[in-house]
Amino acid sequence: MSILSSTQFTDSDARADLADRIHVSVTAPSDTVALCAVAGEVDVCTADILRGALLGAVDSGVPIVVVDLSRVLFFGVAGLHVLVQACALLGEAGRTLRLVTGPRCVDRVLEVAGVGSGFERVPDLAAAVLT
């Protein structure tokens, strides 16, 4: 497994606060899958961190991009916008975005927004990385 990127900011007090709230890493568990693992809080302040990492995974060109949200503690509408953007970009190229959900905060936002069925959701990481 290779590490494509890991995003945490600690160069100022404000960025250090964000780094305490979210951690996003992008790895390549295979030649066909990029895995974007997210832990912590995804809100209006941290969504750009997720966006940068996820767009890096999208730019990798692999056919499947997996977003593991199983360790997310809070998931707001700003995070949903990031997922919708990535899904659209991948869909235009005939590629797939898969979500590993689980926390109620993630599933609830997808349900309330009415987009839950628009994403390929899988129950766990093992199922997500199968091609």
Residue 15 has a pLDDT of 60
Residue 3 has a pLDDT of 54
Residue 53 has a pLDDT of 96
Residue 115 has a pLDDT of 84
Residue 130 has a pLDDT of 79
- Going by C-alpha positions, the residue among 84, 70, 74 that lies closest to residue 46 is 74
Phi and psi at 66, nearest 5°, equal -105, 130
pTM: 0.86
CATH class of 2-128: alpha beta
- Going by C-alpha positions, the residue among 33, 59, 34 that lies closest to residue 131 is 33
Residue 14 has a pLDDT of 59
pLDDT along the chain (131 residues), means of 10: 53 65 95 96 96 95 96 97 96 95 93 86 88 65
